[in-house]
Copies of this chain bind each other. A is one copy, B any other.
Amino acid sequence: MANNSDYAFQKCINPECAATFDVAEILVKCPTCGDMLDVAYDWDKMDVPGSLKDFEKRWTRTNPLDFSGVWRFRDLLNFCPDDCKVTVGEGQTILQRNDALAKDLGIDAGCLHLEYEGLNPSGSFKDNGMTAAFSHARLVGATASACASTGNTSASMALYAHSTGMSCTVFIGSGRIAYGKLSQAMDYGAHTLQIAGDFDDCMRQVQAVCAQLGIYLVNSLNPFRLEGQKTIMFRILEQLGWQVPDWIIVPGGNLGNSSSFGKAFAELKQLGLIDRVPRLAIINAEGANTLTHLYNDRNLRWNDGRPDADLVQEFYDDLTARKYSPRTVASAIEISRPVNLTKCLRALDICDGVVISVPDEEIIDAKAQIGLRGLGCEPASAATIAGLKHLLADGVVDPSAKIACVLTGHPLKDPNLTVNYHKDNKGKFSNPPVEVPNDLNAIIKAMKQA
């Protein structure tokens, strides 16, 4: 299949290097300087709509690419021809205006919106990126894929792998294995290799195996995944009638979402499709707060593409020396060495961003509130609302600001936490079962007390 290399290419994010490479090459890092890569476009050669409203013409159900919440916006991530593009119906997500939760938080009615990504086919936002990565995999002719995740990434990879007729392998360590998290990967047909080692061993081995066997590595460095994730922002704009909100709030783990959101808004602004960018708030869990530490306490910045690499290395060396492992109930953001750190610094620069951390107790309380008021979410997603409470209290976010929080995953991704929270009365919003005799009057009394 022909690629779109007359206007799409891979480009080093380091402005002093800025080397470009063909979009059909499989690269993990810039071969020239070792920095990260972007997918970049020569917009002048592309047929980009003159207004975001033009995308409304795609609201049909007859073409699968138009039905996809990712590929409906394909003009803005057009790195491969349409016959390469894979879709399983991802991105049919909902931006829910939630006045009940807004009221709880002291936010004006009509101002709080929750972008619920749990409605994706594999149950998390990962499908937005994976549909793009597997389209790229087809462009380069890959027949096999692999990754070292045991969570949402492996589920999404396995779904897209079998949907494109590719094989896929999940590398897991021999330590504590959460089989529940692997249930989707096994269900969708991933081969699972349990390596006698830890996660770092898996990560190292999967990269070596992919390089040696020519397997397509679906890791978070993959710039094509971030292209797909841009569409989460396009859908928020779409559902707000193409109005730009004041704040985007997102959990911070590997920082792929924040990175792609910044890129999305920078491109839309450059294309004249929006007249301003929203501010970005990234919420870490306290038990995995690398970004908070480096950005707030050590003043690490994008610095026009030259962030202080020594500062980062020094911090990571210290983590190694202390044998530090991140620990939070929000397992999807339990990461202390975020691979997209540099791109995220750029996003914070583009969006005049802020970063804060929240403790686990506040995350699980916020999760319960999101369940009680909305569609629910996995624990990591609730960091958004936990963080928003602080940003409101500190006067960073105004109660009359238009806010969109990104809820990254389905509540059924981690039902045990939900059950324990309620059953064992663990938090402010716990809702345990009440035992009642099998007697009508006793039951009516219990109903009235509820």
A176-196: which have CB < 8 Å to B? 179-180, 182-184, 186-196
Which chain B residue shows the least CB distance to A189?
A: B372
A298-348: which have CB < 8 Å to B? none
The interface residues of chain B lying within 8 Å CB-to-CB of A167 are 450
Q: Is A208 an interface residue (CB 8 A)?
A: yes
A422/B169 contact (C-beta < 8 A), A180-B415, A412-B412, A436-B196 known = no
Q: Which of B121, B375, B440, B447 contacts A169 (CB 8 A)?
A: B447
A376/B169 contact (C-beta < 8 A), A192-B433, A194-B436 known = no
Q: Is A162 an interface residue (CB 8 A)?
A: yes
> Within the oligomer, what is the number of copies of this chain?
2
Q: Which of B88, B419, B446 contacts A193 (CB 8 A)?
A: B446
The interface residues of chain B lying within 8 Å CB-to-CB of A437 are 195-196
Q: Is the CB of B186 within 8 A of A422?
A: yes
Which chain B residue shows the least CB distance to A370?
A: B187
The interface residues of chain B lying within 8 Å CB-to-CB of A436 are 193-196
> Of A16-24, A54-62, A74-82, which binds chain B?
A54-62
A-B contact pairs, 14 of them (CB 8 A): A88-B375, A119-B121, A123-B410, A169-B450, A172-B433, A179-B419, A180-B419, A184-B418, A186-B431, A188-B376, A209-B447, A215-B447, A410-B410, A412-B415
The interface residues of chain B lying within 8 Å CB-to-CB of A220 are none
Q: Is the CB of A194 within 8 A of B371?
A: no
Q: Is the CB of B92 within 8 A of A193?
A: no
Q: How far is the CB of A2 from chain B (nearest CB, A)?
A: 25
Known: A59-B61, A183-B411. 15 other contacts (CB 8 A): A92-B92, A119-B121, A179-B423, A183-B418, A183-B419, A183-B422, A184-B376, A184-B412, A186-B423, A187-B411, A189-B372, A192-B433, A213-B447, A215-B447, A412-B413
